[in-house]
């Protein structure tokens, strides 16, 4: 059996997240169907993370084991010919036998994109959250730095979150403007359910004057979800990067598929 590490990207608008669901279509189900058809065998895929319904991924890592003699090139181009247009394979490489996309992951980076304009842009439908209220990105960039460090983020996760340990480490949090787009980029060791969306929603409350500029440290200490801001919609959220140990060795170089 060979273990393959595959990087994909997808527009999540049509899917109920990554993980296979009993009553809703998920990216995993679509990917596994295409993969099983390509290999001619039943294969279960392990993904690096769950993503919420409607959330996108610019870089999503998965792995699977197969007894097939297919090449990396065959996997990339074979899958891209079978997958729908909203899912694309970027790279494929043969990994160590014990590589696991989820358990070997040491960090992730997310981006949240807001179309900050009074006017609708149909090209951002399902790919950005529209907010007409003027955003002061410099003020929010400064406030976002209060998230950095290792903290108990109980106040910044969904009330349905079942994680006993809500301590996470945030390595960086930046807010920038690119024309009408305001982009929130946050990286860390891991994230709780809805955590990024609540962090962004809290920054928007600061922007709108509903919270003071220095509110974040007190909210973190409170561990109280009602003290934080709203949960912004999923369509603006992207899993942007997935990080693995640099010393991790693969048995062959990745094959890059240009999908531009």
Instruction: Answer yes or no: same fold for 2-104+244-256 and 107-240.
Output: yes
Q: How far apart are CA 119 and CA 223, in angstroms?
A: 37
Task: Tell me the average pLDDT across 190-194.
Answer: 92
| Residue 169 pLDDT exceeds 70 | yes
pLDDT tier, 255 (very low <50, low <70, confident <90, very high otherwise): very low
* Residue % of the chain over a pLDDT of 90: 88
Task: Tell me the average pLDDT across 71-93.
Answer: 97
Task: Tell me the average pLDDT across 152-163.
Answer: 82
Q: How far apart are CA 203 and CA 133, in angstroms?
A: 13
* Residue % of the chain over a pLDDT of 70: 93
pLDDT of 88-127, one tens digit each? 999 999 999 999 999 999 999 999 999 999 999 999 999 9
The pLDDT value recorded for residue 105 is: 96
Task: Evaluate whether 172 touches 187 at the Cβ level (below 8 Å).
Answer: yes
Give the SS3 label for residue 164. coil
The reply to whether CATH 3.30.70.660 applies to domain 107-240 is yes
Active site residues: 52
Ordered by start, the domain boundaries in the chain are: 2-104+244-256, 107-240
Contacts of 209 (CB under 8 A, 6+ apart): none
Task: Tell me the average pLDDT across 165-194.
Answer: 96
Alpha helices in the chain (DSSP H): 27-39, 72-82, 137-144, 195-207, 216-222
pLDDT of 18-60, one tens digit each? 999 888 999 999 999 999 999 999 999 999 998 899 999 999 9
pLDDT tier, 87 (very low <50, low <70, confident <90, very high otherwise): very high
On average, the pLDDT of the chain sits at 92
Task: Evaluate whether 157 touches 165 at the Cβ level (below 8 Å).
Answer: no
Contacts of 69 (CB under 8 A, 6+ apart): none
- The CATH architecture that domain 2-104+244-256 belongs to is 2-Layer Sandwich (3.30)
The pLDDT value recorded for residue 252 is: 37
| Residue 254 pLDDT exceeds 60 | no
The pLDDT value recorded for residue 224 is: 94
């Amino acid at each position: 059996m060979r273990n393959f590490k595959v990087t994909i990207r997808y527009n999540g608008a049509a899917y109920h997240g990554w993980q296979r669901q009993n009553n809703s279509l998920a990216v995993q189900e679509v990917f596994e169907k295409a993969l099983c058809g390509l290999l001619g065998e039943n294969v279960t895929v392990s993904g690096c993370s769950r993503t919420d319904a409607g959330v996108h991924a610019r870089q999503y890592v998965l792995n699977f084991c197969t007894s097939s003699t297919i090449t990396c090139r065959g996997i990339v181009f074979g899958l891209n010919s079978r997958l729908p247009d909203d899912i694309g394979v970027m790279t494929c490489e043969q990994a160590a036998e014990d590589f696991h996309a989820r358990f070997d992951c040491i960090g992730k980076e997310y981006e949240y994109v807001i179309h900050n304009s009074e006017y609708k842009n149909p090209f951002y439908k399902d790919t950005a959250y529209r907010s007409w209220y003027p955003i002061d990105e410099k003020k929010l960039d400064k406030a976002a730095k209060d998230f950095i460090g290792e903290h108990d983020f109980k106040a910044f996760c969904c009330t349905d979150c079942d994680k006993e340990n809500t301590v996470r480490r945030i390595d960086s949090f930046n807010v920038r403007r690119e024309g009408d787009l305001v982009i929130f980029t946050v990286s860390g060791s891991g994230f709780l359910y809805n955590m990024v969306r609540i962090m962004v929603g809290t920054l928007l409350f600061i922007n709108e004057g509903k919270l003071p500029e220095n509110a974040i440290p007190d909210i973190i200490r409170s561990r109280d979800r009602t003290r934080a801001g709203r949960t912004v919609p999923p369509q603006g959220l992207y899993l942007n990067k997935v990080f693995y140990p640099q010393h991790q060795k693969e048995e062959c170089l990745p094959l890059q598929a240009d999908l531009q």
